[in-house]
Amino acid sequence: MSIPALPAVVTLAALITYQGTAMAVGQARVKHKVMAPATSGPEPFECALRVQQNTLEQLVFFLPTFWLAALLGSPQWASLLGFIWVGGRVAYGVGYRIAPGKRGPGFGISFLSSVVLLVMAIVGVFRA
């Protein structure tokens, strides 16, 4: 795979991860009989919904900083951090759905990778 294609693959992985969280909410709605537009219900449903919402909240920050870091910095390093971000979001979702208190490591991994991407983007802007 060529280096310019790596950021596109990371973007697709992030979007697929988000779509997976949305599908998990739909499955939880059916399983726990939480009819739309309700956003509260049994804890397993609320955990699935929070994973989806938090992933969306983080995606809004991640995608622009990721692309700025890839375009103005290093596409290889940005892609590595992007894959780490995706892994962190998956770990966050799995941890949260097991027990809300287990979401921390996944959140930390994805948050820290986003911060490094932000720094890369800022440095890239000033170098450009």
Predicted pLDDT at 13: 98
Place of tokens 């720094």: 119
Cβ neighbours of residue 17 closer than 8 Å, sequence gap 6 or more: 55, 86, 89, 90
Predicted pLDDT at 83: 98
User: How many structural domains does the chain have?
Assistant: 1
Give the pair of three-digit tokens for residue 30: 């059916």
Predicted pLDDT at 4: 76
- For residue 3, is pLDDT > 90? no
68 and 11 Cβ atoms separated by less than 8 Å: no
CATH at residue 91: 1.20.120.550
Structural domain for 122, as ranges: 5-127
The 3-state DSSP class for residue 90 equals: helix
Q: Residue 1: pLDDT band by 50, 70, 90 thresholds?
A: low
pLDDT tens digit sequence for 12-34: 999 999 999 999 999 999 999 99
- For residue 72, is pLDDT > 70? yes
Cβ neighbours of residue 123 closer than 8 Å, sequence gap 6 or more: 73
pTM for this structure? 0.94
